[in-house]
Structure 1
Amino acid sequence: MAHMSRRAQPVRWKLWLLMVAVLYPLITIGVTLAAPVLEPLPPAGRFALIVPVMVALMVWVVIPLLHRLFGSWLQR
């Protein structure tokens, strides 16, 4: 199916830049807010709880929002 057009992939450096700009504050805020509740846990336990929450936020909230806001810029 060579005649079918493929969707343009985002420019990787722009995608990297957006991810860093969003992940840093998201993780910083998430860890800061969760710290009092998760303090009794060892570091590995804290990460085991925080990482899935951060990934879920990225996949279902942040990335779709970024795609709507910056989609055309990412494709240029």
Structure 2
Amino acid sequence: MNPEDLQRLLTMAMPYGKYKGRMIADLPGQYLNWFAREGFPKGELGRLLALMQEIDHNGLSPLLDPLRNSRN
């Protein structure tokens, strides 16, 4: 993981599915867990979804708050 990945979680929107258009950092945990069970997509999207799932699963989502606040 690199710092740019954390920024991408806040700026990359889900390109398809039930949560199309929602930023990856804002996806619900159960949706991220579904990907973890069923398999993450290939490429950058899958890598970022896996990262966000790990962050969410370990209760580390508040670590993104300073990045969110700096964007406002």
Q: Whose radius of gyration is greater, 1 or 2?
A: 1
TM-score by length of 2: 0.28
TM-score by length of 1: 0.27
Question: In proportion to residue count, which structure has more helix?
Answer: 1
User: Highest relative contact order (Cα 8 Å, sep 6+), 1 or 2?
Assistant: 1
